[in-house]
Amino acid sequence: MSDNDDIILRDLNNDELFELMQDDLYDGYADEIVEEVQEALSRGITPYDILTQGLVAGMDIVGEDFRDGVLFVPEVLMAAKAMKAGMNMLRPLLVETGAPRLGAAVIGTVKGDIHDIGQNLVSMMWEGAGLEVHNIGINNSVEAYLEAIEKYNADVLGMSALLTTTMPYMKVVIDTLKEMGKRDDVIVLVGGAPLSAAFAEEIEADAYCEDASEAVVRVKEFLRLRKGAG
């Protein structure tokens, strides 16, 4: 239960409502986020403004504090759960209103690897940053990645591996994208405990992300560059 039980939402102005939304997201209060999103919608605030000024702004703070060691994985997961509760309400409305999106991403663990905690965290953080994220889970073949990229018209591919034996499969996926002439169509970000920036460079990924907060920073960076080039 939040500390905001005595707050009457309708008495807040829009800026105060967004600030409260950010605070409750940070604290992982999913029920309160749902109430605040409902209040914002009832005022005629656009779903896109609620997403960017309330939810995404809140997750940006979560990401910064996670990077700085103020928050840890359990707290981030709670914040992401609260974010998801708000997104479940906004997603269909965003589609209806044709709101701009940051981009679409496909993420999943490579073939032979069944570890998914890290990529699940990145997936939620990316959604919190405003991406349309399609998490295809564990043990993914080249075909599974390619099918998802095409199906969702993905701008970004995130691949993770926790086993040194499965790391080389990332190169198989990237080489296949190159052979098909599709490598330049998608930003490829890789992560996982045994990986490094040198490995990412060797397999010709766009970047190695050490953790979920860096994955958010890098994906925004690359999408901004791409948008500028476009």
Per residue in 161-212, pLDDT (tens digit) is 999 999 999 999 999 999 999 999 999 999 999 999 999 999 999 999 998 8
Shortest CA distance to 195 belongs to which of 222, 168, 175?
Answer: 168
pLDDT value at residue 67: 87
Shortest CA distance to 142 belongs to which of 161, 169, 106?
Answer: 169
Burial of 185 (C-beta count, 10 Å sphere; 0-12/13-18/19+) = middle
Instruction: Pinpoint the alpha helices (H) of 13-99.
Output: 14-27, 30-42, 47-49, 57-67, 73-97
pLDDT value at residue 171: 98
pLDDT value at residue 101: 79
C-alpha–C-alpha distance, residues 35 and 45, integer Å? 14
Non-local (6+) Cβ contacts of 210 within 8 A are 191
pLDDT value at residue 1: 42
Query: Does the pLDDT at position 115 exceed 80?
Result: yes
What confidence tier does 129 reach under pLDDT thresholds 50, 70, 90?
confident
- Domains of the chain, earliest start first: 9-97 (1.10.1240.10), 104-229 (3.40.50.280)
C-alpha–C-alpha distance, residues 2 and 216, integer Å? 27
Q: Is the separation of the CB atoms in 55 and 94 below 8 Å?
A: no
C-alpha–C-alpha distance, residues 177 and 122, integer Å? 22
Radius of gyration of the chain from its Cα atoms, rounded to whole angstroms: 18
Q: What is the pLDDT of residues 89-107, one digit of tens each?
A: 998 888 788 777 789 999 9
Q: What is the pLDDT of residues 28-75, one digit of tens each?
A: 999 999 999 999 999 999 998 999 999 989 998 998 999 899 999 899
